[in-house]
Amino acid sequence: MTSTPTRPKLRTTAIKAWLAGHLHDVLGIPTEQITADATFETFGLDSVDGVVMASELETAFGIEVDPALFLRNPTLEAVFQELQDEGIADIEHDG
Amino acid sequence: MAPTRSFDPRDPEFRTDPHRFFARLRREDPLHWNPHLKAYALTRHRDVFQVLRHPHFLATPMRANTATLLRRSGRSLPTLDRLIEAAVLFDSTPGHREARRMLVATLNMRPLGEYAPLMADVTDRLIDALRGRPSFDAVSDFADPLPVHVIHRVLGIPEELFDTLRAATWGLDGLFNYVKAIRELVAWDAQCRTGFAVIDDLVRQRRAAPREDGITRMIALAAQDGIDHERLVARIFFLIMVASDTTSATIGNAIALALATPGIVDAITDPATTAAAVEELLRLEGTALFAARYADRDTELAGLAVPEGTVAYCYLAAANRDPEAYPDPDRFVAGRGGPPHFAFGDGIHACIGASFARLEARIALHAFFTRLGPLRRVEAGTSWLPLDAFRHLARLPVAVD
């Protein structure tokens, strides 16, 4: 995996809002169900959805992530952790 | 006792030393359900053999899977699709047989032995450039370019196009990865456009002025089979791709193992045992890690009833070190006997270039260890390219003593 030389600062609320919008558009999932600890499995995502989401996340935030990011991590909380641990972004927990 | 830890096949630790994981799986959980893969992982020789020969375990449908992924992301990549269509490995339709036959006919356009002088010439040129140098990278200076030059010359591609085509095929073996990023697919599509343009041009030239070369031969074979120009171009590019990376990796892996293990260099340099040594190196450190298959109906997998759609990863590298098939399996024993190994797969998708690659590896390795003098590794540790399906060294610095 490659990490960007200057790590962008990403707010958890921004990622959460993006994901809620994406899942609402693609799968019709009510926005209020998207929380940091909700498991992706409960939304009925399949592996193709996960890879598409990773690609959309890259485009939305200008980062490069593992295509299996949403397949390997069960929750948004875990995704935040991986982005931080892998040095892909500085995650700012703002709610 | 702790249950067998489920392994993450994309873990760097697994990539560095998969054999350790395989030994444990084979012993404790030979029909391993892997939650990361959502598939079974097979590690025993007999199970891998059975699935590769099974009429209802088919090659995973890469073309349909890729199309689904791209459609759901609102894209289409028609050039990459042409490459995947040409990739006979992923095709279980009747067209597969015809495509295979054509590629076999291309590689067998002469008795195999007639390729030996060409292979030796490519090898000698690379070695000549290394002689007198106190150190070099056995991967980028030898193992990687050698098969690329060989297949390009077999096809009759002019030397000034080698670098362009190498850049166009580089990394495309990532297509076999468990999970592919959409950005990777987009990049590979662009590479295919470059490569196809080069081949397209050459095919047109050979049509106008035929030569004694592989491209001219493939044009004739395509005409016999009713293959259109676009498909022919994709097929030639696919042949370059598979003849390059897999053989490069095989030669690199063999050199690394030979430098790390006493007795191998002697077995390679003795002409009486070169072939047996190469065979044993293929078994121990062949490049293909797995072949993926799915059940096209409810069927049985190693004695277990499984539903249609079940995916099985046949770990070829694991089966090749199954002690049931090869006693003391981690030891290098040239001419050890035992059942055929799976370095080139098995069943209807077995590698069509196996004989070609064997000959190439024998010539390359024999010359490498005979002509360059005593060599040793100068770096501890081994770095592998980040590929899921192939073991391919990123670099292998060696010093000449």
- Which residue carries 């060409």 as its tokens? B118
Q: Which residues of B touch A71 (CB under 8 A)?
A: 36, 179
Q: Does pLDDT of B185 surpass 80?
A: yes
Distance from CA of A52 to the nearest CA of B (A): 6
Domain assignment present for A4: no
Check if B181 contacts A (Cβ < 8 Å).
yes
Domain assignment present for A2: no
- Nearest residue in chain A measured CA to CA from B10: A68
Non-local CB neighbours of B355 within 8 Å, separated by 6+ positions? B112
pLDDT for A63: 95
Domain assignment present for A24: yes
Q: Does pLDDT of B108 surpass 80?
A: no
Residue B2: band (very low, low, confident or very high) from pLDDT cuts 50, 70, 90 = very low
Residue B3: band (very low, low, confident or very high) from pLDDT cuts 50, 70, 90 = very low
Domain range annotation of chain B = 12-400
Residue range B359-400, pLDDT digits in tens: 999 999 999 999 998 999 998 777 899 999 999 999 999 999
Of residues A48, A67, A72, nearest to B181 (C-beta): A67
Distance CA B125, CA B129 (A): 6
Range of the domain at A46: 9-92
Decide the pairing of beta strands B290-295 and B57-59.
antiparallel
What proportion of chain B, given as a percentage, has pLDDT over 90? 82
Which residues 4-23 on chain A approach chain B with CB closer than 8 angstroms? none
**Which CATH number fits the domain that encloses residue A71?**
1.10.1200.10
Mean of the pLDDT values across residues B207-216?
Answer: 95
CB B91 within 8 A of CB B216: no
**Beta-carbon separation of B182 and A55 below 8 A:** yes
Q: Does pLDDT of B335 surpass 80?
A: yes
Mean of the pLDDT values across residues B267-273?
Answer: 98
Mean of the pLDDT values across residues B108-128?
Answer: 90
Half-sphere exposure of B401 (CA within 13 A, CB side): 7
Distance CA B340, CA B108 (A): 22
Check if A77 contacts B (Cβ < 8 Å).
no
Q: Which residues of A touch B38 (CB under 8 A)?
A: 47
Half-sphere exposure of A57 (CA within 13 A, CB side): 30
Q: Does pLDDT of A67 surpass 50?
A: yes
Q: Does pLDDT of B242 surpass 80?
A: yes
Mutate to test the interface with A, among B8, B37, B38, B72 (most CBs of A within 10 A): B72
Residue range A33-64, pLDDT digits in tens: 888 888 888 888 888 999 999 999 999 999 99
Mean of the pLDDT values across residues B351-363?
Answer: 94
Check if A25 contacts B (Cβ < 8 Å).
no
Domain assignment present for A23: yes
Q: Which two tokens stand for residue B231?
A: 């498909």
Q: Which residues of A touch B10 (CB under 8 A)?
A: 68
Non-local CB neighbours of A16 within 8 Å, separated by 6+ positions? A34, A35, A36, A76
**Beta-carbon separation of B73 and A68 below 8 A:** no
- Nearest residue in chain A measured CA to CA from B182: A55
Check if A30 contacts B (Cβ < 8 Å).
no
Check if A49 contacts B (Cβ < 8 Å).
yes
What angle is formed at CA B215 by the lines to CA B210 and CA B216, rounded to 5 degrees? Answer: 30
Q: What value does the mean pLDDT of chain B take?
A: 93
Q: Which residues of B touch A56 (CB under 8 A)?
A: 73
Q: What is the CATH number of domain B12-400?
A: 1.10.630.10
The closest of B345, B362, B286 to B321, measured between CA atoms, is B286
pLDDT for B6: 67
Distance from CA of B183 to the nearest CA of A (A): 7
Q: Does pLDDT of A1 surpass 60?
A: no
* Helix/strand/coil for B386: coil
Residue range B95-105, pLDDT digits in tens: 777 788 888 88
Residue B298: band (very low, low, confident or very high) from pLDDT cuts 50, 70, 90 = very high
Give the 3-state secondary structure of chain A.
CCCCCCCCEEEHHHHHHHHHHHHHHHHCCCHHHCCCCCEHHHHCCCHHHHHHHHHHHHHHHCCCCCCCHHHHCCEHHHHHHHHHHCCCCEEECCC
The count of structural domains within chain A is 1
Check if B75 contacts A (Cβ < 8 Å).
no
Phi, psi of B346 (to 5 degrees): -165, 170
**Beta-carbon separation of B73 and A56 below 8 A:** yes
Distance CA B11, CA B18 (A): 10
**Beta-carbon separation of B179 and A68 below 8 A:** yes
Distance CA A60, CA A80 (A): 15
pLDDT for B114: 86
Check if B294 contacts A (Cβ < 8 Å).
no
pLDDT for B323: 98
What angle is formed at CA B181 by the lines to CA B177 and CA B185, rounded to 5 degrees? Answer: 85
Q: Which residues of A touch B35 (CB under 8 A)?
A: none
Check if A56 contacts B (Cβ < 8 Å).
yes
pLDDT for B5: 59
Mean of the pLDDT values across residues B198-221?
Answer: 96
Distance from CA of B10 to the nearest CA of A (A): 10
Mean of the pLDDT values across residues B302-327?
Answer: 96
Q: Does pLDDT of B1 surpass 50?
A: no
Of residues B8, B69, B181, nearest to A48 (C-beta): B69
Check if A55 contacts B (Cβ < 8 Å).
yes
